[in-house]
């Protein structure tokens, strides 16, 4: 009970005692119309002993409690700067009127000890009433936002776990595939969601979340395992720096829930509205109201994020090359107008023969014909399933020259005829242009 309430009741008791004394001295009639009970007809007390002041006080208390229970953060989205004004208006108060009442003085006890832990320290005077109104408003906003965020997180975590489990099974199945082309194609097809633009990246946003990390790691490991890290880099499969700074493996629920709500408040979680910015007027009550996520916890989460980002970058250290180059001796080669295609289990051989003829002028002025019969044979350690080349098809691949043999067939003053046989070690078939269409393994780059 406040000092003002005690003063009012004390004054009421004194007046009642005085009226009773007068009635007794007058033999029961009393002056001023005193009744047998000693209550004057001018006494503001009702039959049950409650004064008009008490009734007004109780009415205000009920209005505050009802407003606090029903007020939501969504009520502040139109104009957050007027949020406390709206709360006070609904409770029958006025945030700025000099004659308004103080909710701190009106309520006999803390309306919500969990979200208003410092309520008893708040000023009860009417001039400082805006302080209490803002504290009530902020507590209602934080409480409702936390409830909304926790509900959204529960749905997210349940769905994330379901998809994560399915993705894990899919990755394990793909990794049992022996053919590198099939394995990589199947792994790339498991992509859970495309990475969004840099401004929309988020730890809990599709395309940059833990599912993305799980898939990116599986893709990188598959390219490494099939000795195609150079292809991974050359064709742009490596995650961007922005993505490396955002995606991370799933963490324990206590971290994940708070991190989720931190991002949600910042507007980084799709489907969850951002926390309304109530403005600097609420700065003085922030420390008196429980936060959705306490500041020290926010700092701890951000530190954990930095540590996780370091782990992610270490995992993809090989990929962080500004200008990736092919391994020594390896280059992009094209064999046009395939002549022979041979398949032997996992391996394959492709051969082309090309005759080049030109005329050059010797130092003595005599013209000489130069004729070269080029035969190139490319050996592939593995080959895409179902691909069969026919004469006239064209392939492009990453490979290196392993041997070359030049034979002079004929040499006269008028003619120089050579044959050159080149053996190529193919590292990866990149493109095939056949009569039925074109195929790329796996990206143009």
Q: What angle do CA 224, 203, 78 make, to 5 degrees?
A: 155
What is the b/e burial string over 91-101, where b = at least 16 CB atoms within 10 angstroms of the residue's CB? bebbbeeeebb
Please choose, from the candidates 371, 242, 253, 292, the residue with its C-alpha nearest in 3D space to the C-alpha of residue 114. Answer: 292
Please choose, from the candidates 202, 198, 232, 200, the residue with its C-alpha nearest in 3D space to the C-alpha of residue 218. Answer: 232
Residue 102 lies in a domain: yes
Residue 367 lies in a domain: yes
- The last residue of one of the domains, among 93, 122, 141, is 141
Domain extent at residue 314: 142-319
Residue 198 lies in a domain: yes
The span from the CA of 385 to the CA of 346, in Å, is: 9
Same domain, 25 and 158: no
- The last residue of one of the domains, among 275, 299, 319, is 319
Whether 334 and 396 have beta carbons less than 8 Å apart is answered as yes
Same domain, 169 and 105: no
- Per-residue pLDDT, 324: 84
- Per-residue pLDDT, 368: 87
Same domain, 169 and 299: yes
Question: How many domains, in total, are found in the chain?
Answer: 3
SS3 of the chain: helix, strand, coil, percent, to 5: 45, 20, 35
Whether 101 and 116 have beta carbons less than 8 Å apart is answered as no
Phi, psi of 109 (to 5 degrees): -140, 170
SS3 68: helix
Token pair 């993505």 is found at 243
- The pLDDT averaged over each successive group of 10 residues in the chain (445 residues) is 34 33 32 35 50 87 96 92 94 81 91 96 89 96 98 97 97 97 97 88 95 97 96 92 95 97 95 94 94 97 97 93 88 96 95 91 87 95 95 97 92 90 96 95 82
Give pTM, 2 decimals.
0.79
- Per-residue pLDDT, 27: 34
Same domain, 69 and 79: yes
Same domain, 164 and 298: yes
Same domain, 153 and 137: no
Residue 246 lies in a domain: yes
Same domain, 83 and 99: yes
Phi, psi of 385 (to 5 degrees): -65, 135
Residues with Cβ within 8 Å of residue 423, at least 6 apart in sequence: 376, 377, 379, 401, 402, 403, 404
- The last residue of one of the domains, among 141, 162, 197, is 141
């Amino acid at each position: 009970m406040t000092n003002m309430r005690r003063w009012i009741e004390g004054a009421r008791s004194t007046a009642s005692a005085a009226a009773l004394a007068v009635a007794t001295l007058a033999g029961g009639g009393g002056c001023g119309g005193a009744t047998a009970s000693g209550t004057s007809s001018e006494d503001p007390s009702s039959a049950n002993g409650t004064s008009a002041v008490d009734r007004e006080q109780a009415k205000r208390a009920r209005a505050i409690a009802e407003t606090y229970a029903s007020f939501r953060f969504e009520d502040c989205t139109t104009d957050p700067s007027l949020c406390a004004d709206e709360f006070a208006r609904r409770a029958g108060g006025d945030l700025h009127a000099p004659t308004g009442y103080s909710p701190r003085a009106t309520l006999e006890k803390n309306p919500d000890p969990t979200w208003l832990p410092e309520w008893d320290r708040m000023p009860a005077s009417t001039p400082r009433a805006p302080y209490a109104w803002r504290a009530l408003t902020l507590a209602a906003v934080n409480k409702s936002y936390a409830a909304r965020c926790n509900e959204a997180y529960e749905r997210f975590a349940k769905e994330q776990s379901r998809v994560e489990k399915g993705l894990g099974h899919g990755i394990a199945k793909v990794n049992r595939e022996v053919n590198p082309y099939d394995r990589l194609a199947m792994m790339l097809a498991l992509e859970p969601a495309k990475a969004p633009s840099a401004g929309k990246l988020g730890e809990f946003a599709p395309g940059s979340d833990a599912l993305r990390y799980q898939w990116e790691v599986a893709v990188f490991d598959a390219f490494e395992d099939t000795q195609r890290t150079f292809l991974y880099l050359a064709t742009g499969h490596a995650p961007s720096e922005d993505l490396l700074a955002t995606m991370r493996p799933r963490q324990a629920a206590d971290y994940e829930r708070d991190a989720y709500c931190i991002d949600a408040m910042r507007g980084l979680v799709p489907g969850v509205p951002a926390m309304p910015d109530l403005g600097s007027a609420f700065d003085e009550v922030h420390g008196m109201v429980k936060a959705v996520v306490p500041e020290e916890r926010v700092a701890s989460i951000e530190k954990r994020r930095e540590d996780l980002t370091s782990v992610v970058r270490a995992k993809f250290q090989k990929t962080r090359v500004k200008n990736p180059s092919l391994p020594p001796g390896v280059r992009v080669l094209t064999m046009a107008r395939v002549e022979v295609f041979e398949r032997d289990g996992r391996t394959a051989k492709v051969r082309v023969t090309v005759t080049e003829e030109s005329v050059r002028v010797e130092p003595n002025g005599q013209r000489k014909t130069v004729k070269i019969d080029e035969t190139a044979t490319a050996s592939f350690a593995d080959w895409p399933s179902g691909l069969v080349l026919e004469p006239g098809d064209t392939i492009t691949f990453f490979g290196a020259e392993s041997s070359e043999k030049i034979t002079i067939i004929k040499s006269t003053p008028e003619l120089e005829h050579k044959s050159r046989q080149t053996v190529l070690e193919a590292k990866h078939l990149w493109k095939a242009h056949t009569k039925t269409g074109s195929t790329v393994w796996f990206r143009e780059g």
